[in-house]
Amino acid sequence: MLYPYIKSLHLIFVVTWFAGLFYIPRLFIYHIEAWQKPSPDKEILSDQLKLMTKRLWYIITWPSAILCTVFAIWLLVLMPGWLNQSWMHIKLAFVGLLIVYHLKCHQIFKQLQRDEVKYTSRFMRIWNEVATLVLFAVVFLVVLKNAFNWIYGTVGILVLAILLMLGIRLYKRIRDKNPNA
């Protein structure tokens, strides 16, 4: 009886968690690039980006991650048979990877809050795509379950990763030619 409601809440918080994970590296990029500007622009932009990042991280991303996990555990309690299925083991491995990604983003967030810039904006553009790859893998896995052909799935994720990297390089070329792009 509760299953459709718990699943709906789980999916809502998956969406909001990913929204935060997609946007936070973008704010990191802006923050890193702000440090390359002259004063007082650097300080003004940095202060504003710190505030935006803090609000996104603590008001949307962290609560969504926690609630997504709570409802996922609740679903597994309601559907314990899923834990016997290989697709769920692989999904949970991807979720573990997503949690590691989230925690690394938290570390980067804390560094930027202390004005410690340890990464380039180019690295952050690539880092930004990790959540995309995990999302693709998990959605295909959950929808197709055991019908999923792992050879095609693995090749598909690799092709997607290559296309994302090519897109990043193309954007860099366009941006280098036109800094306002």
In a domain, 16, yes or no: yes
Task: State pLDDT tens for residues 72-123.
Answer: 999 999 999 999 998 899 899 999 999 999 999 999 999 999 999 999 998 9
Entry pTM: 0.85
In a domain, 161, yes or no: no
Q: Total structural domains in the chain?
A: 1
Question: Is 31 part of any known ligand binding site?
Answer: no
Cβ pair 90, 141 in contact under 8 A: yes
In a domain, 133, yes or no: no
Question: Is 102 part of any known ligand binding site?
Answer: no
Domain extent for 105: 3-128
Residues 6+ apart with CB under 8 A from 157: 133, 136, 137
In a domain, 156, yes or no: no
In a domain, 177, yes or no: no
Tokens at 132, concatenated: 């995309």
In a domain, 110, yes or no: yes
In a domain, 89, yes or no: yes
Q: Where are the alpha helices (DSSP H) in the chain?
A: 3-34, 41-55, 62-78, 86-113, 121-127, 130-144, 150-177
